[in-house]
C-alpha cells in the first residue's frame, strides 16, 4: 500500500515550535510547559515507539491503554483503507451498514450475561456520558424522577466530558473545572495499600463495602440511579480493589435496584486477557458496560 508523503516536511525544530505555539495538550498548565517540549514521536512498531532522533522506547501503557494489538499492523491499515474507499461514514440516525451491524453482533456475543444491545459513541467519555444519561432516562420513563444520584469512587477516572468528569474522583480533574455536584456522591478510596497499619485486607474489604451500604442508607436507595466503577482504577494508580469487593458491591446494588455500570474503557478487549474483565476476572455481570479505545486499538 502506498502512503502519501508531505511535501516540504517541516524540521523537528519547526514541528516542536508549532506544537508549543498552537497545540493545547490535555490538561497541561501552560505556565509549566512554556519553553519546554514534548517528546516528538516519529513512528511505532509493535510495542515500540521511536522519537525524531531514532531512539527507541517501549510504550508500556500502549498509548494510554489504547493500542492493544501494537503499532504498525499492515492488515489493519489495509482494512481501514478499503472501508474508507467503499464508505467512510453513514449516519446511524437514518441508516445502517454491514460493518456496524456485524460489530454490534460480535460485541453482544462477547459481552457477559444477558447484555445484548450495543450503542456506539465517539469514545470513552461519551460512552460514560451515554450510560449515565441512560440511567436517568430509564428512571424518568419508570416514573422515578428522583432516582438520579450516581455513586462513584475516589481515584476513579471516567473521562473528560461534562458528566464523565463529574463522576471522576481524581482531585486534580475536578478541583479546577466546574462539574455536576448535585447528582454525584463519591465513596472513599478502595486502595488496599492505603489501609490502616495492622488492618487485614479482608477487614479493609468489609470497610469498603460498608462505605457503599452507608451511602445508600444516608442518601436513600430511592434517590440513587446507578453505581459506576472501573474493575481496576487505572488512571488513579492501577488500583485493584480487594478480592470479593466487586461481587459484594454488585449484590448490594441489585438488592437496592441500583444499576451497576462497569467502566471497561481500559480493561476490555484483552487488557486483562479477556474480552471483558467484569465477568471473566471479577465475577460480575453488570447492567451496563462502557468500552472504547481498545476496540479499535487506536487505528
Span 49-101, pLDDT tens digits: 999 999 999 999 999 999 999 999 999 999 999 999 999 999 999 999 999 99
pLDDT of residue 195: 96
Say which CATH architecture domain 12-84 belongs to: Alpha-Beta Complex (3.90)
Q: For all residues of the chain together, what is the average pLDDT?
A: 94
Considering the chain, tell me which residue range(s) the CATH 3.40.640.10 domain(s) occupy: 98-296
Domain 98-296 has CATH 3.40.50.1010: no
Rounded to whole angstroms, the Cα distance separating 66 from 46 reads 13
Nearest to 28 by CA among 18, 36, 158, 17: 36
Task: Tell me the pTM.
Answer: 0.93
**Residue 174 above 80 pLDDT?**
no
Q: Which of 11-20, 91-100, 221-230, 253-262 has the lowest mean pLDDT?
A: 11-20
Local structure of residue 61 (DSSP, 8 states): T
Q: Give, to the nearest 10 degrees, the angle between helix 201-219 and helix 245-255.
A: 20
Rounded to whole angstroms, the Cα distance separating 34 from 140 reads 48
pLDDT of residue 144: 98
Number of H helices, E strands in the chain: 12, 8
Residue 68 has a CB neighbour count (10 Å cut-off) of 17
The three cell numbers of residue 157 are 477516572
Q: State pLDDT tens for residues 216-247.
A: 999 999 999 999 999 999 999 999 999 999 99
- Helix locations, 87-142, DSSP H: 98-110, 124-141
pLDDT of residue 283: 96
Nearest to 219 by CA among 249, 183, 255, 254: 183
Q: State pLDDT tens for residues 130-169.
A: 999 999 999 999 999 999 999 999 999 999 999 999 999 9
Paired sense of beta strands 259-263 and 224-229, if any: parallel
The three cell numbers of residue 60 are 508500556
pLDDT above 70 coverage of the chain, percent: 95
**Residue 176 above 80 pLDDT?**
no
Considering the chain, tell me which residue range(s) the CATH 3.90.1150.10 domain(s) occupy: 12-84
Grid look-up 468528569 returns 165
Residue 204 has a CB neighbour count (10 Å cut-off) of 20
pLDDT of residue 178: 86
Amino acid at each position: 500500500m502506498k502512503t502519501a508523503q508531505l511535501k516540504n516536511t517541516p524540521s523537528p525544530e519547526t514541528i516542536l515550535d508549532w506544537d508549543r505555539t498552537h497545540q493545547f495538550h490535555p490538561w497541561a498548565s501552560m505556565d509549566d510547559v512554556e519553553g519546554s517540549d514534548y517528546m516528538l514521536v516519529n513512528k511505532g512498531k509493535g510495542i515500540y515507539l521511536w522519537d525524531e532522533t531514532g531512539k527507541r522506547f517501549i510504550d508500556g501503557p500502549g498509548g494510554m491503554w489504547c493500542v492493544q494489538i501494537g503499532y504498525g499492523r499492515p492488515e489493519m491499515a489495509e482494512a481501514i483503507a478499503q472501508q474508507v474507499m467503499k464508505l467512510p461514514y453513514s449516519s446511524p440516525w437514518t441508516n445502517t451498514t454491514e460493518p456496524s451491524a456485524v460489530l454490534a453482533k460480535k460485541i453482544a456475543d462477547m459481552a457477559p450475561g444477558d447484555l445484548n444491545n450495543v450503542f456506539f459513541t465517539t469514545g470513552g467519555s461519551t460512552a460514560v456520558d451515554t450510560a449515565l444519561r441512560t440511567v436517568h432516562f430509564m428512571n424518568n420513563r419508570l416514573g422515578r424522577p428522583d432516582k438520579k444520584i450516581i455513586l462513584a469512587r475516589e481515584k476513579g477516572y471516567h473521562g473528560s466530558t461534562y458528566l464523565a468528569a463529574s463522576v471522576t474522583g481524581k482531585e486534580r480533574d475536578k478541583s479546577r473545572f466546574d462539574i455536576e455536584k448535585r447528582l454525584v456522591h463519591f465513596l472513599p478510596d478502595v486502595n488496599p495499600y492505603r489501609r490502616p497499619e495492622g488492618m487485614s485486607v479482608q477487614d479493609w474489604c468489609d470497610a469498603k463495602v460498608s462505605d457503599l451500604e452507608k451511602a445508600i442508607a444516608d442518601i436513600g436507595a430511592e434517590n440513587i440511579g446507578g453505581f459506576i466503577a472501573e474493575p481496576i482504577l487505572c488512571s488513579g494508580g492501577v488500583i485493584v480493589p480487594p478480592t470479593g469487593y466487586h461481587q459484594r458491591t454488585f449484590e448490594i446494588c441489585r438488592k437496592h435496584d441500583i444499576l451497576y455500570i462497569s467502566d471497561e474503557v481500559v480493561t476490555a478487549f484483552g487488557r486483562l486477557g479477556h474480552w471483558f474483565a467484569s465477568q471473566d476476572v471479577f465475577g460480575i455481570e453488570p447492567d451496563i458496560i462502557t468500552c472504547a479505545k481498545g476496540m479499535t486499538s487506536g487505528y
